[in-house]
Every structure is written in structure tokens, then in C-alpha cells.
Amino acid sequence: MKVLLVHNRYRTSAPSGEDIAVRNEQRMLEKRGVEVTTFDRCNDDIDDSTPLARAAAAANTIWSRRSRSDLRSLLDRIRPDVVHVHNTFSVLSPSIYGVCRAAAVPVVQTLHNFRFFCPGALFLREGRPCEDCVDRSLLQAVRHRCYRNSIAATATLAAMLQLHRTIGTYTGGIDRYVALTQFARAKMLKGGILERKLSVKPNFLPDPPAAGGGGGGYAIFVGRLLEGKGADTLLQAWRLLPGVRLKIVGDGALRPRLEAIARRDGLNVEFTGRLERSAVLEAVSRAELMVVPSTWYEGFPMVVAESFACGTPVVASRIGSLAELVQNGVTGRHFTPGDAPALALAVQHLLADGGGLRRMRHASRAYFEAHLTEDRNYEQLMSIYREAVGRDSANPGWDGRARSSDGNTAG
């Protein structure tokens, strides 16, 4: 099978787990003999140095002639069996889907976040889940400046979504959607994606470590210190846990303020900053438990996969995909999002039950081996590809309507 992977990478100044997940999938396919070609761009290339340049970048976000032309040439040259798109924001633009449609090449789209339904991509506003753009209209995002706190930037994204909904890009130009969890799938159905087009395939962890045994005597948080990650709740809980050491691994805009709070209150908290992958996995393996206190709808947090691979139970907010991924009482414990006393109590109960903690370590690793390995993921992805290609072979026009030469639906 010949696969064309399409991905718009994020700025290097804002490292993205999505970029890592795409790279992992590419390597997974190549290791197993799949012929992979990439078509990618990076948001580092955006010129926003002048008002005119910013206006051009905004127009390109909605419709990129250059991306369409470049992709058309590549499709003509390599003739892939399937195009797998991960992200088109913002250099590539959704205009590329029509090129694939015109070439009668089926498209698989992985939705790593909620950008198809929410200009801010996270269903998050003021630190809390928000679905106003689905329940009401995209104008709600513009009103609240949901992308970069900018009316202009948010309006550009709202215009992009509305235009491509109107001309049928998302309905006619994508053959198969991939959600990372059942929770995300439900939100995509709510957003209007057809059930018959939706599959669920999680992320996976390549080259997993051996299961650890804990014994480090500490809890651990791994992630970016940003709004929605629940770091404030974490520190509030640790005011109630003076005898439990906490390691916070990661960096982000909130780190200086959080470190100042920890110093002021004399909390038993260590900030390590960002660590290399091997050091992160070693720290997670030795931890007694992982804490994921997010207050927003996580996509598929790789820290959960890493924790389960290490055999480390997870104390997680009962919200979104986390409530699905972490089985309460089996691979960890749930607590109410934003409820610091409930988080502290969950940690205390877990640490006080040595036998239960050991059982959870075994169950966590077992879950990883059953659901989150590279081999399992390859089987799932190839099944999705075969389904997309098979449907395209049976019905080259996909929806039975005539297409004009540029890929737009005629009639």
C-alpha cells in the first residue's frame, strides 16, 4: 500500500504531542514495509511581520492556492492508495481536500483535537469546557476571542470553518474520520460527522519501557504547565498532602507563578523542568502514581500511555477522555475536576492501600499491552485504510455526485 501522510506541523516554539504522534505513525508504517510519502509544512514559515503579511496569512489559512498546486503535482507523481491527513492548520488549509477528491484518492482524517468544531480547538474557555460553537454558532468564539485572545485571528478560523462547511469540504472531501477515543467520537457525532465515517483508534507508545515497580516514594505530574492542565488544583491539593512528595516534570507559561506559590506555601513539590524521554520514563516508572488533573477535554494524553506502559496507576479528573482511559479502581482513581480536596483524598486512599496499588500496577501494564502497543495500532490503522480504499474502489465518486475538474461538487 502507498500512503501519503499530510501534516501541518506546529511552531517549534510550541512543542506538540500531535507532531510526535504523527511521526510515530509514519515510522510504524515504514518499519512494516508500507510505502510512505510525506507532504508537510510548518507554521514557523508564517510571515506575520507586517499588517499586509498577516492579512495574506489569514487568507491562506482559509484557502491556499500554493498548497493545492503542490499537492496536485505530488498526487500526479506518486498516485497513492490513500491520503492520511492529520492537520491542515494553518499553512496547508482545508483547500487541499478538494485536490484529493479530484484525483479520486480516498482521504482519512485523524482528528487530534476539536478544531473542526471550535476555532480554539480545545472546547475550552476561561479554564472550563465550552461547547458554545456546537450548541449555538461559531460567532460565540469570535465574541469571546477564543483563539489567541484575538477577534481578528478567531474570526479567520471561524470563517475558515464556515466556508468549508458551506461548500461541503468536510462532508464530501473526507472518506474516513479517526477519533482517538470514544468520548471524542461522541463529540464529533454531535458536531455533525456521519457515524458511518467514524472510527476510533488511540495513540500508541513506541519502544515502551519494561514495567516499573514504583518505590520512589513520590507522585508525579508530567505535562505542559498551561491553562486547562489543572496545575492550580494540583498545588491546592498538595497543601493537604505535606507528607507526599510531588515531582512536576514539564515547562510552560504558568511555571514561574506555580513555583512561587510552592515556595511561599512550603509545599513538598519539586519542579524538574523538561526532561529527555528516557529520564521521563524512568521517573514515571519509579513513581507511586501519576496525577492528571486536567480541567479540559484532553485528546489522548500520551502521559497516560506512558504511565500505563510503566505500570504506574493514574489519578485523573473525571472528565472527557480521561474518565474513559483510566478505569476507576482498576488502573487508577477518578476525582471531580477542579476539586483539590477530592484529589488529595484519592491520592491518600491509593497510597494507603499497598495491595490495591500493586494490583493497579499490574492492571495498568495489562491495559497498555492490550490496547496501546505499536502492533495493535498498526492492525487498527491498516483496517481503516483498507476500509477507505475499498469504499473508494467500489464508488470512485464516493457520494455518487459528479465532480468538476477542481474537485468541487457539481450541481
Partners of 333 in beta bridges: 315
Grid cell of 353 as nine digits: 492501600
For the beta carbon of residue 256, count every other beta carbon within 10 angstroms.
Answer: 11
Instruction: Return the closest-CA partner of residue 197 out of 2, 22, 392, 408.
Output: 392
Distances in Å between the alpha carbon of 79 and those of 3, 67, 76? 9, 17, 6
Reported pTM: 0.91
**CB-based contact 291:343 (threshold 8 Å):** yes
Cell numbers 474516513 correspond to what residue? 176
Question: Hey, is 177 helix, strand or coil?
Answer: strand
pLDDT of 13: 79
**CB-based contact 174:272 (threshold 8 Å):** no
Grid cell of 167 as nine digits: 461548500
Query: What letters, b where the CB count within 10 A reaches 16 and e where it falls short, cover 203-217?
Result: bbbeebbebbebebe
Grid cell of 51 as nine digits: 499588517
CATH topology of domain 218-371: Rossmann fold (3.40.50)
Q: What is the CATH number of domain 2-204+375-394?
A: 3.40.50.2000
* H-state helical runs in 34-125: 51-62, 65-78, 96-102
Instruction: Return the closest-CA partner of residue 383 out of 211, 176, 206.
Output: 176
Domain boundaries, the chain: 2-204+375-394, 218-371
Question: Hey, is 133 helix, strand or coil?
Answer: helix
Q: Give me the tens of pLDDT residue by residue for the chain, a chain 411 residues long.
A: 999 999 999 998 777 889 999 999 999 999 999 999 999 999 999 998 899 999 999 999 999 999 999 999 999 999 999 999 999 999 999 999 999 999 999 999 999 999 999 999 999 998 889 999 999 999 999 999 999 999 999 999 999 999 999 999 999 999 999 999 999 999 999 999 999 999 999 999 999 999 999 999 999 999 999 989 999 999 999 999 999 999 999 999 999 999 999 999 999 999 999 999 999 999 999 999 999 999 999 999 999 999 999 999 999 999 999 999 999 999 999 999 999 999 999 999 999 999 999 999 999 999 999 999 999 999 999 999 999 998 544 433 333 223 333 333 322
pLDDT of 391: 58
pLDDT of 12: 87
Q: What are phi and psi of 292, to 5 degrees?
A: -125, 90
Do the first three CATH levels of 2-204+375-394 and 218-371 match, i.e. the same topology? yes
Query: Residue 211 carries which side chain, given as an amino acid letter?
Result: A
Rounded Cα distance between 293 and 230, Å, is: 5
